[in-house]
A and B are shown apart, each in its own frame.
Chain A
């Protein structure tokens, strides 16, 4: 069964870059049937789509975050990553990596999430 695991620093300073990695196990990231993406949830708030990407490198970003987001994939390591620049306290959230089904666009597999706090 495919599993996703987020990893990265739990604390980031304001104005710096948040970097997270998602490791895919139990399946290949090189699948034409799926996108790979990031979702975040600020404390006590709802879910927000950050971005999605295809294993070939095509990326799709939330317009409200687009200027600060970069996603990339390393197929040799079965991993994909998120970088969010110029962070502020508003970027404090639980960050989830997800698998999205291309035919349907639903998120069928979720990582457990990792908490990132932006604070000096």
Chain B
């Protein structure tokens, strides 16, 4: 089971847009539409931001959006705000020999 690949850090100024990538394989990200994204502030539990590649749970700002192309999923945050500064993790389920779940290594978003 290999972790999904995310950039270690990204940054942007308030009001700008940023995109975080998440690269996997045809067994996980590329094999289905079950990619999710989580936001984690320091000392807090992760929070679901995007599920099934591009769906937002109730209550999550529409500034957050998700997409996928091939084996790479992406999270885009538009109109950056100070409170968006956090760690972001992608996740996918993988159906190799059995059900497994895998996370990306995480991306630290800094709002300049």
Contact = CB atoms under 8 A, between A and B. Distances in A.
Asked if A and B bind, the verdict is yes
Contacts of B45: 96, 110-113
Interface stretch (B9-17, B19-27, B76-84, B95-103): B95-103
Contact of A101 (B38, B51, B92, B100): B51
Contact of A106 (B1, B52, B100): B52
Q: Could you tell me the dominant secondary structure of chain B's interface residues? A: strand
Contacts of A32: none
A38 to B, nearest CB: 11
Contact of A104 (B34, B98, B99): B34
B98 to A, nearest CB: 6
A93 to B, nearest CB: 13
B106 A107 contact: no
Given A64-B1, A106-B51, A47 B34 contact: no
Contacts of B57: 108
Q: How large is the interface on A (under 10, 10 to 19, 20 to 34, 35 or more residues)?
A: 20 to 34
A105 B46 contact: no
A47 B1 CA distance: 14
B106 A106 contact: no
Contacts of A52: 99, 101
Interface in A36-75: 37, 39, 46-49, 52, 60, 62-64
Interface in A79-112: 96, 100-101, 104-108, 110-112
State the 10 A-B residue pairs at the shortest beta-carbon distance, nearest first: A105-B93, A106-B36, A106-B51, A49-B101, A46-B106, A110-B45, A60-B99, A47-B103, A105-B34, A46-B105
23 contacts: A37-B101, A46-B89, A46-B104, A46-B106, A47-B106, A49-B100, A49-B101, A52-B99, A62-B1, A101-B51, A104-B36, A104-B51, A105-B34, A105-B36, A106-B36, A106-B51, A106-B91, A107-B38, A107-B46, A107-B91, A108-B48, A108-B51, A113-B45
